[in-house]
């Protein structure tokens, strides 16, 4: 919990009943207590993480209107408010808000919960299971046929080696698919801003490059990032590294051997752009809108060669959205593509002021 003091109010937050504060901290959701003038004198940590307050001012005009109705009528109000996860992107918190008159001195209690998250997770899982059942059929069916072929060719060593090699390839594809499914499930089920940590942009880029180095070396592709930056973002470190890793690996897999993949950063209006540029096959305009769909592949034949699962860019989109950002694409066929992961810059001095 956090106490806030402002010269404009005569209320002493330390005078609030201890039992009330303990109860608020035990609730699943978040809460804040407001003095007249909508001055916050008590908040739980999640209020700031949700972005409801900035510089001790409520950022939702809808919530402000609800609070004023409660002050005027002295009756509680309950409603739902959509609140952006960040300054860009489509990510939103769908919040259930209850506002209650607390005292005769016009203290108001605001209770906030994200009850819609449970329904969203249920819907995602339902659709996800339907997609997975379809995608798993291909490698499992191939393994079944190849095992029969091995048994039928047991007296032909060359054929056994041939079929066994293909079985290894299909088994690896199945393993990669299962791992990507686990990764996407974790991203969809969690909220990285609830237990967020400060992450250096240069650190996450270099970690992602290290993870892709073997793949790049095998295809004689040079991955470059020559910048030095102290920019920091807020979120889940592993998810952010995974998102950049997926962009770099995707660029490597869809680029001709002997070419270059370059990573760059650019900051504008409080947003950092982490851009990954390749010299690959490019993406047609008709396919660019679908590229971030689960299991969608621009070139299915190329995906089979590289072991692509069709989940990598979907994971990037979910990570960006959950962190209050977005992912954008520029591409020209037979020229190359640039994917940009755009995230709000974290300013610790601003946050602690």
Q: Which tokens hold the place of 229?
A: 């930056």
Asked if 90 and 28 sit in the same domain, the reply is yes
The count of C-alpha atoms lying within 13 angstroms of the C-alpha of 43, restricted to the half-sphere facing its C-beta, is: 20
Domain boundary among 60, 91, 114: 114
8 A C-beta contact, residue 339 and residue 327: yes
Q: What is the pLDDT of residue 352?
A: 45
pTM score of the predicted model: 0.60
Q: Can you tell me the distance from the alpha carbon of 290 to that of 298, in angstroms, rounded to the nearest whole number?
A: 9
Torsion from C-alpha of 265, 266, 269, 272, nearest 10 degrees: -10
User: Which CATH number fits the domain that encloses residue 123?
Assistant: 1.10.287.130
Domain boundary among 61, 95, 114: 114
307: confidence class by pLDDT, cuts 50, 70, 90 = very low
Q: Which helix (H) or strand (E) holds 232?
A: strand 232-235
CA-based R_g, the chain, Å:
25
Across residues 19-40, what is the average pLDDT?
Answer: 82
Q: Which tokens hold the place of 78?
A: 């309950």
Q: pLDDT tens, 212-250? A: 998 899 899 999 998 888 999 999 898 899 899 999 998
Asked if 125 and 27 sit in the same domain, the reply is no
Containing domain of residue 167, as a range? 116-189
C-alpha pair distances (Å), 220 with each of 164, 210, 260, 304: 27, 15, 9, 20
Asked if 222 and 156 sit in the same domain, the reply is no
Asked if 184 and 201 sit in the same domain, the reply is no
Which one has a higher pLDDT value, 198 or 287?
Answer: 198
Asked if 152 and 43 sit in the same domain, the reply is no
Q: Can you tell me the distance from the alpha carbon of 77 to that of 68, in angstroms, rounded to the nearest whole number?
A: 10
Residue the block writes with tokens 């270059």? 260
Asked if 262 and 273 sit in the same domain, the reply is yes
Provide, rounded to the nearest whole percent, the portion of the chain with pLDDT above 70.
Answer: 77
Query: Domain count of the chain?
Result: 3
Asked if 127 and 68 sit in the same domain, the reply is no
Asked if 237 and 102 sit in the same domain, the reply is no
Asked if 34 and 161 sit in the same domain, the reply is no
Cα–Cα–Cα angle for 213, 132, 121, rounded to 5 degrees: 95
Domain boundary among 98, 114, 130: 114
User: Which CATH number fits the domain that encloses residue 105?
Assistant: 3.30.450.20
């Amino acid at each position: 919990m956090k106490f806030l003091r402002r010269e404009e109010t005569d209320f002493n937050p330390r005078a609030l009943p201890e039992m009330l504060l303990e109860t608020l901290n035990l609730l699943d959701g978040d809460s804040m207590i407001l003095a007249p003038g909508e001055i916050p004198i008590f908040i739980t940590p999640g209020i700031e993480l949700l972005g409801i307050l900035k510089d001790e001012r409520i950022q939702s005009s809808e919530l402000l209107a609800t609070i004023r109705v409660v002050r005027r009528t002295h009756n509680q109000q309950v409603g739902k408010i959509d609140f952006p996860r960040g300054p860009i992107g489509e990510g939103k918190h769908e919040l259930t808000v209850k506002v209650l008159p607390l005292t005769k001195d016009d203290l108001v209690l605001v209770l906030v919960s994200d009850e819609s998250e449970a329904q969203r997770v249920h819907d995602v899982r339902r659709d996800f299971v339907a997609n997975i059942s379809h995608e798993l059929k291909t490698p499992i069916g191939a393994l079944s046929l190849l095992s029969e072929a091995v048994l039928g060719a047991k007296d032909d060593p060359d054929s056994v080696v041939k079929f066994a090699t293909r079985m290894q390839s299909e088994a690896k594809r199945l393993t990669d698919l299962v791992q990507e499914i686990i990764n996407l499930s974790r991203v969809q089920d969690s909220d990285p801003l609830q237990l967020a940590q400060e992450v250096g942009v240069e650190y996450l880029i270099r970690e992602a490059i290290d993870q892709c180095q073997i793949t790049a070396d095998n295809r004689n592709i040079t991955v470059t990032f020559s910048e030095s930056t102290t920019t920091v973002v807020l979120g889940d470190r592993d998810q952010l590294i995974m998102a950049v890793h997926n962009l770099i690996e995707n660029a490597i897999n869809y680029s001709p051997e002997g070419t270059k993949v370059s990573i760059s950063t650019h900051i504008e209006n409080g947003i950092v752009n982490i851009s990954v540029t390749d010299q690959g096959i490019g993406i047609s305009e008709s396919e660019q809108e679908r590229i971030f769909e689960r299991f969608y592949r621009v070139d299915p034949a190329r995906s089979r060669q590289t072991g692509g699962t069709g989940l990598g860019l979907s994971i990037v989109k979910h990570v960006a959205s959950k962190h209050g950002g977005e992912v954008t694409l520029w591409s020209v066929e037979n020229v190359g593509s640039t994917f940009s992961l755009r995230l709000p810059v974290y300013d610790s001095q601003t946050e602690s002021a």
